[in-house]
Structure 1
Amino acid sequence: MREIKIRIFDKKNKKILEVDTLFINEAMFKPVGGDEYSVWNYDTEYYSSPMQYTGLKDKNGVEIYEGDIVNFQHIDDYGYMTNVFQNGFYRGVVKWGEHYPAFDIFDIKDNSTFGFDCNIFSMESDIVIEVIGNIYENKEFKVLQGDRFSPPFVIKTFKTKKEADDFVEATQKESSKYDEYTAFWVEEVNG
Structure 2
Amino acid sequence: MREIKIKYTYSNGKDFMHKDFTIDEIEQGCQFDEICDTPLLKDYFFVTRSLYTGLKDKNGVEIYEGDIVKFDPSVQPLDGMPQDGEVGVIKYVLNSFVVIPQNDCNINYNIDELGDWVVIGNIYENKELIGAQNE
Could you tell me the TM-score, scaled by structure 2's length? 0.69
- Structure number with higher relative contact order (C-alpha < 8 Å, ≥ 6 residues apart): 1
For residues 132-164 of structure 1, what are the alpha-carbon distances to aligned partners after superposition, in whole Å with 9 as ceiling and x for unaligned? 11111212122523xxxxxxxxxxxxxxxxxxx
Note closer, same or farther for the CA distance 1:11–1:112 as it changes in structure 2 (3 Å cut): farther
Q: Which amino acid aligns with 2:26?
A: L
Match of 1:157 in 2: none
Gaps of 5+ in 2: 37-43
* Larger strand percent: 2
Percent of aligned positions that are identical: 34
Superposed counterparts of 1:135-174, under 5 Å: 135-141=123-129, 142-143=131-132, 144-145=134-135
In 1, distance between residues paired with 2:65 and 2:19? 13
* 3-state SS of 1:140 partner: helix
State the alpha-carbon separation in 2 of the partners of residues 29 and 112 from structure 1.
40
Q: In structure 2, what is the equivalent of residue 128 of structure 1?
A: 116
Deviations 1:112-143 (A, max 9, x none): 4424xxxx2233xx641100111112121225
Work out whether residues 88 and 101 of structure 2, in 8 Å CA contact, stay in contact via their aligned partners in 1. yes
| Secondary structure in 2 matching 1:49 | strand
Q: How many residues align?
A: 119
TM score, norm. by length of structure 1: 0.51
Determine helix, strand or coil for the equivalent of 1:122.
coil
The CA distance in 2 between the partners of 1:7 and 1:29, in whole Å, is: 13
Matched, 1:6 2:6: yes
